Structure 1
Amino acid sequence: MTSCAEEGGCPSDYIAISISAICMILLLSRLISPFVVHKVPRSKGSGFWIPVIQVFASCNLLLSIVLSVNFLDFKKKYWWQSCYVWAVWVEGPLGFGLLLSCRISQAFQLYYIFVKRCLPPIRSYIFLPLLLFPWIAGAAFIHIRKPLNNLCHMGTWWIIPVVCLHTLYVATLVGFTAAIRHIEFRFDELRDLWRGILISASTIGVWTAAYILNEVHDDVSWLQAASRFLLLVTASILILALFSLSSSQPLLSQISLRRREPLEYETMGQALGIPDSGLLLQREKALVIDPSEPLDKLLLNKRFRHSFMAFADSCLAGENVHFYDEVHELSKIPVEDTVKRIYMARHIIEKYISAGATTEVNISHRSRQEILTTSNLACPDLFNNALNELIQLMKTNLVRDYWSSTFYLKFKEESSMRSNSHELEQMRGWNYSPRLSSVHGIDDPFHQEHFPKGSGCN
């Protein structure tokens, strides 16, 4: 035990614990605030539970350091106070190992989605335990051999493999990130991921040095105080860097579980900059809808599609039309723009295709597996079979009732009004006088009568 610990604790210990508590509060606020402040919808997949596990691992890492390197002076009477519980299991598999495994899992997903252009072959709930297995095996081996002394320190020959295991996971994370360095991400995932890795790598370097000094030189009181201070402070910075400065999922709705864009987009199409995505242009020409025409042709008209979508929503069957609408938006993205197409395709899969999705569509198992096992997420024909099935389903269940609904009557009335308004606007905007047509700006006494081309509300 160090001399200042015998006197009630070093001042540096109190400072380190205070910094650790502040970082943990900031970390929890970054996890909770998107759902409380920005009302971000909670994802059911790994985009939600991996960051939650990461926060859990961060808490374990900080708590294990506090309880295993003599920040608190108490007698270890019970098994849960043992050095092997905190310095081996909580710090290793449940702390640092779990924290790095979460980040590797996310980088692994980015690699397969954007480089391989397919969904990861291993689900995250399987891949994460596989990553943790070396940590669990190492912790079990140390627990059996029991090399720790009464200060929870181990000898030099035990420190070497432990540090190598830490370094291996950092190198794996850097390797997956380097493999996606050439991808031009839409939402700056790679830039944030690299920034997080650079800060984390430098922090881990200091943390490893402090860890070695704390383990080897347990007879030097001032070195023990300085090393445990660095251990806790650098670990606090590490957990914030890994969570806040790197992406958790390549989607706008949840990036590090917080809003990153100054504008709030209602659809992924708007976020990706697809022209006229989700908008009904006021100056769009009204078209006469013929009920005898095929549904797939009628759905190409945006105003009809929105009217039909509202009717389907009222029948609690709107997911099919929403799926069609988003696939139609996907078709606007050029085939050569693979990154945008992958973003949109991944969004559609998570929202409509994946089992248990919030708006899962009713398609055959064969079509679903074709999408989930595709070798090219940017393929233009990826959703064609599913789309054909859903159009047939809508023809059977929705179309006949729509033509006799108030939604169609309202759409028909609005189309008629827009058609009359468009004809009137053309008549008022027609300029019969050559003299007036050459007058522009405020010098034109009739400038209020002019309707410049392109004016209108988008």
Structure 2
Amino acid sequence: MGSCAVDGGCPSDYVAVAISSVSMILLLMRSLLPFLIHKVPHVKGSGFWLSAIQVFASFNLLVSIVVSLRFLKFERRHRWQSCYIWEAWIEGPLGFGLLLSCRIAQAYQLYFIFVKRRLPPIRTFVFLPLILLPWIAAATLIHTRRRLNVRCHMKTLWIIPATCLHAFYVIPLVGYTAAIRHIEFRFHEVKDLWRGILVAAASVAIWVAAYILNEIHEDIAWLQVSSRFVLLITTSVFVLIFFSISSSQPLLSQISLRKREPREVVTMGRALGIPDSGLLLERGPNPLVDPNEALDKLLENKRFRQSFMAFADSCLAGENVHFYEEVHELGKIPLDDPVRRIYMTRYIIQKYIVAGAPMEVNISHQTRQGILCTTDLAHPNLFKDAMHELLQLMTMNLAKDYWSSMFFMELKEEISMRQDGQELEHFEGRNFSPRLSFVENSDDPFHPENASKVSTFDSHDSTLR
């Protein structure tokens, strides 16, 4: 017990490392399986990168604890095992600090988007380093002052500021969550944030207690082994639960990996409960398509829109039509439901408007900046100028080629066949002969009442004979 408490390699150490490895594997599965199994589309915005950074920070935190507290026994110490690399930098700024900073960034975004109804003024890639500045300053101070001994332990006077720094990062998370508690979120973001705060607070309390015992009582072997065991197990559970209740991917909250038949979530419109039909309805049982009609009127025809979208996708220019359809999906949400409108607006901006978006549309810089700098994400005319520009672009380019394409020929043939089928169905549904269509029931010899009269007359006539 005495030698392994100093050099590492105790049985409990290997058990803790195995548990932490399992938790990391489960975390990776939790982050990747929805995309691999259910083919969930993701938007490469701040929500995606915050989730990826949380996985990276969780891995750093676990590995730094294993290396710095000597859970594994090495024959000799190497330069890469330096206490200042793992204890001061990777465990602090790149581990726990980065993990909590990602959750603070999520709460910060939710506050500006749903309370202020505008995009955050500070981009995520700038906001994260700003939050990490206290951790970076603390790591720099510890490194320059050389406050770690050969066992990666600090003196008593340095332990208190280090532990307070962990608790300090829970405070802004509580503040932002309290500021958005009155918003009726669709995907329970506030509930997830409060649960994350409770998990973080409880984990930090246990983590700090085990950390202080491990740092102070270096001479008690059993306390060293048990405290670092509790420290790693608590951290393993913390990173797994903390990521599992992340609110950065609202579409993933609609999917449960425990269900055999998961709910199909293809678009944000379906996740928000927007009906597939509504404003964009076919204008009759078999609407005709007139090439001389305005494109925006034609796109209200659901079947034409599907055909035109397929043609645009084949020309690698389908983002304009997809943008048009999703903006009209936004129009189906009532104006007195700003929360759902903001969800849909934010999704459209991340998918089509921001620079480098997966389906970035070709609009003017002025129009793009007007959308990104809006002070009301729920405004009904937010995408009006962008829609006007894209309709002009599609009219001049895609529409001209569409009328001579096979997609339009197939659409005309389908409409013609449906019209012929409906006429035949309408014809077969009427239960009378065309030749006797103007004969009333009283004069119809084939009517049941008259048929009985004819039968009676014939029998009476045969009797007379």
Common fold: TM-score over 0.5: yes
Residue in 2 aligned with 1:87?
87
Do the aligned partners of 1:280 and 1:302 also contact (CA within 8 Å) in 2?
Answer: yes
1:268-279 aligned at under 5 Å gives the runs 268-277=268-277
Do the aligned partners of 1:38 and 1:259 also contact (CA within 8 Å) in 2?
Answer: no
Q: Distance in 1 between matches of 2:409 and 2:295?
A: 17
Partner SS, residue 357 of structure 1:
coil
Residue in 1 aligned with 2:119?
119
Q: How far 1:260 moved relative to its partner?
A: 9.3
Q: Distance in 2 between matches of 1:335 and 1:279?
A: 15
What amino acid is aligned across from residue 333 of structure 1 in structure 2? I
Closer, same or farther: CA 417–258 of 1 in aligned 2, 3 Å: same
Gaps of 5+ in 2: 433-465
Q: Distance in 2 between matches of 1:266 and 1:85?
A: 44
The answer to whether structure 1 residue 156 and structure 2 residue 156 are counterparts is yes
What amino acid is aligned across from residue 321 of structure 1 in structure 2? V
**Residue by residue, what CA displacement relative to the aligned partner does 1:133-188 show, whole Å, maximum 9, x if unpaired?**
11111111111112222322212221121112111111222222222222222223
Q: How far 1:48 moved relative to its partner?
A: 2.7
* TM-score calculated relative to the size of structure 1: 0.86
1:345-424 aligned at under 5 Å gives the runs 345-423=345-423
Residue in 2 aligned with 1:196?
196
Closer, same or farther: CA 279–32 of 1 in aligned 2, 3 Å: farther
Q: Distance in 2 between matches of 1:375 and 1:197?
A: 30
Residue in 2 aligned with 1:219?
219
1:22-101 aligned at under 5 Å gives the runs 22-41=22-41, 43-74=43-74, 77-101=77-101
Closer, same or farther: CA 257–132 of 1 in aligned 2, 3 Å: farther
Q: Which one is further off, 402-411 or 107-116?
A: 402-411
Closer, same or farther: CA 67–402 of 1 in aligned 2, 3 Å: closer
Structure number, greater radius of gyration: 2
Partner SS, residue 232 of structure 2:
helix
The answer to whether structure 1 residue 166 and structure 2 residue 166 are counterparts is yes
Partner SS, residue 317 of structure 1:
coil
Q: Distance in 1 between matches of 2:228 and 2:429?
A: 78
Q: How far 1:355 moved relative to its partner?
A: 0.9
Residue in 1 aligned with 2:443?
none
Q: Distance in 2 between matches of 1:310 and 1:70?
A: 59
What amino acid is aligned across from residue 36 of structure 2 in structure 1? V
Closer, same or farther: CA 43–7 of 1 in aligned 2, 3 Å: closer
What amino acid is aligned across from residue 357 of structure 2 in structure 1? A
What amino acid is aligned across from residue 177 of structure 1 in structure 2? T
Residue in 2 aligned with 1:104?
104
Q: Distance in 1 between matches of 2:382 and 2:75?
A: 63
Closer, same or farther: CA 123–277 of 1 in aligned 2, 3 Å: farther
Residue in 2 aligned with 1:452?
none
Q: Which one is further off, 345-354 or 188-197?
A: 188-197
Q: How far 1:265 moved relative to its partner?
A: 2.5
Closer, same or farther: CA 356–431 of 1 in aligned 2, 3 Å: farther
Do the aligned partners of 1:270 and 1:278 also contact (CA within 8 Å) in 2?
Answer: no
Closer, same or farther: CA 281–324 of 1 in aligned 2, 3 Å: closer
**Residue by residue, what CA displacement relative to the aligned partner does 1:78-108 show, whole Å, maximum 9, x if unpaired?**
4322222222112111111111112211222
Q: Distance in 1 between matches of 2:254 and 2:209?
A: 29
What amino acid is aligned across from residue 111 of structure 1 in structure 2? Y
**Residue by residue, what CA displacement relative to the aligned partner does 1:270-329 show, whole Å, maximum 9, x if unpaired?**
222112259998996222233322222222221222222222222222211111111111
Do the aligned partners of 1:62 and 1:232 also contact (CA within 8 Å) in 2?
Answer: yes
Residue in 2 aligned with 1:140?
140
Closer, same or farther: CA 350–340 of 1 in aligned 2, 3 Å: same
**Residue by residue, what CA displacement relative to the aligned partner does 1:5-37 show, whole Å, maximum 9, x if unpaired?**
369744332322221111112112223323332
Do the aligned partners of 1:298 and 1:304 also contact (CA within 8 Å) in 2?
Answer: yes
1:186-265 aligned at under 5 Å gives the runs 186-250=186-250, 252=251, 254=252, 262-265=262-265
Closer, same or farther: CA 90–404 of 1 in aligned 2, 3 Å: closer
Q: Which one is further off, 368-377 or 200-209?
A: 200-209
Q: Which one is further off, 6-15 or 342-351?
A: 6-15
Gaps of 5+ in 1: 433-458
**Residue by residue, what CA displacement relative to the aligned partner does 1:203-239 show, whole Å, maximum 9, x if unpaired?**
2211111112212222222222221111101010111
Q: Distance in 1 between matches of 2:380 and 2:100?
A: 36
Q: How far 1:332 moved relative to its partner?
A: 0.8
Residue in 2 aligned with 1:307?
307
**Residue by residue, what CA displacement relative to the aligned partner does 1:92-135 show, whole Å, maximum 9, x if unpaired?**
11111111112211222222222222111111111111111111
1:10-21 aligned at under 5 Å gives the runs 10-21=10-21
What amino acid is aligned across from residue 174 of structure 2 in structure 1? V
Closer, same or farther: CA 368–331 of 1 in aligned 2, 3 Å: same
Q: Which one is further off, 52-61 or 420-429?
A: 420-429
Do the aligned partners of 1:269 and 1:277 also contact (CA within 8 Å) in 2?
Answer: no
What amino acid is aligned across from residue 67 of structure 1 in structure 2? V
* TM-score calculated relative to the size of structure 2: 0.84
Closer, same or farther: CA 418–99 of 1 in aligned 2, 3 Å: same
Aligned length: 430
Q: Distance in 2 between matches of 1:94 and 1:265?
A: 34
Q: Distance in 2 between matches of 1:399 and 1:276?
A: 24
Q: Which one is further off, 222-231 or 134-143?
A: 222-231
Partner SS, residue 237 of structure 1:
helix
Q: How far 1:200 moved relative to its partner?
A: 2.5
Q: How far 1:77 moved relative to its partner?
A: 4.3
Do the aligned partners of 2:5 and 2:221 also contact (CA within 8 Å) in 1?
Answer: no
**Residue by residue, what CA displacement relative to the aligned partner does 1:348-375 show, whole Å, maximum 9, x if unpaired?**
1111111111211111000000111111
Q: Distance in 2 between matches of 1:73 and 1:397?
A: 68
What amino acid is aligned across from residue 350 of structure 1 in structure 2? Q
Q: How far 1:407 moved relative to its partner?
A: 2.3
Closer, same or farther: CA 371–431 of 1 in aligned 2, 3 Å: farther
The answer to whether structure 1 residue 321 and structure 2 residue 310 are counterparts is no
Q: How far 1:418 moved relative to its partner?
A: 3.0
**Residue by residue, what CA displacement relative to the aligned partner does 1:33-71 show, whole Å, maximum 9, x if unpaired?**
233322334543333332222222112111221222242
